[in-house]
């Protein structure tokens, strides 16, 4: 669980992305380099990697981030920085990919936390029953 001056939060994202054409390029020294870069990026940006797995043709990343970063921005940062650094460190990879583009433009992102949707719905319903609101229409009709 994270904490900022204006928020306490528990936001975790499961992010998955692939190299262009799902080419199995994430092996050996490239895999090790990408794993290091994921950690470096997370530390620099203030994210916490809960779990990560670099597979030959895709990456799974389970990361905690604050509510001020959108999932799209988080993905852009991880994909953009790793892609740029990979192309600099391993220039021969660009020949295996179309126009040197490292990553496929698509990705998957899902959220996860410690509380289920059902628990939240129940909590809100119970809060609503304690707050007895006067119907607005009745008040308006009485004044007419």
pLDDT at 17 over 90: yes
φ, ψ (nearest 5 deg) of residue 74: -60, -45
Q: Which of 41, 83, 77, 38 is nearest to 61 (CA)?
A: 38
Confirm whether 139 is domain-assigned.
Answer: no
Strand segments (E) across 65-135: 108-112
* Structure-model confidence comparison of residues 69 and 122, the more confident one: 69
The CATH number linked to 24 is 3.30.70.1290
Q: Which of 54-63, 104-113, 131-140 has the lowest mean pLDDT?
A: 131-140
For residue 38, being part of any structural domain is answered with yes
Number of domains in the chain: 1
Q: What is the overall mean pLDDT for the chain?
A: 85
Structural domain boundaries, residue 6: 2-115
Let me know if residue 74 belongs to a domain: yes
Look at residue 32 and tell me if it is in a domain: yes
What is the per-residue pLDDT for 137? 57
Which sequence positions are flagged as catalytic? 123
Instruction: State mean pLDDT over 92-119.
Output: 83
What phi, psi does 17 have (nearest 5°)?
-145, 165
* 51 domain residue, yes or no: yes
* ∠ CA 116-122-128, rounded to 5°: 140
142 is a domain residue: no
Q: Is the pLDDT of residue 122 over 90?
A: no
> pLDDT confidence of 4, banded at 50, 70, 90?
confident
């Amino acid at each position: 669980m994270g904490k900022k001056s204006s928020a306490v939060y528990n936001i975790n994202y499961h992010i998955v992305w692939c190299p262009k054409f799902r080419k199995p390029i994430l092996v050996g020294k490239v895999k090790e380099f990408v794993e290091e870069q994921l950690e470096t990026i997370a530390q620099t940006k203030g994210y916490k990697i809960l779990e990560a797995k670099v597979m030959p043709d895709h990456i799974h990343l389970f990361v905690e981030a604050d509510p001020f970063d959108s999932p799209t921005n988080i993905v852009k940062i991880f994909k953009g920085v790793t892609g740029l650094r990979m192309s600099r460190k391993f220039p021969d990879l660009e020949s295996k990919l179309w126009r040197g583009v490292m990553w496929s433009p698509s990705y998957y992102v899902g959220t996860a936390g410690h509380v289920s949707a059902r628990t939240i719905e129940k909590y809100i319903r119970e809060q609503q029953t304690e707050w007895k609101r006067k119907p607005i229409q009745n008040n308006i009709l009485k004044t007419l």
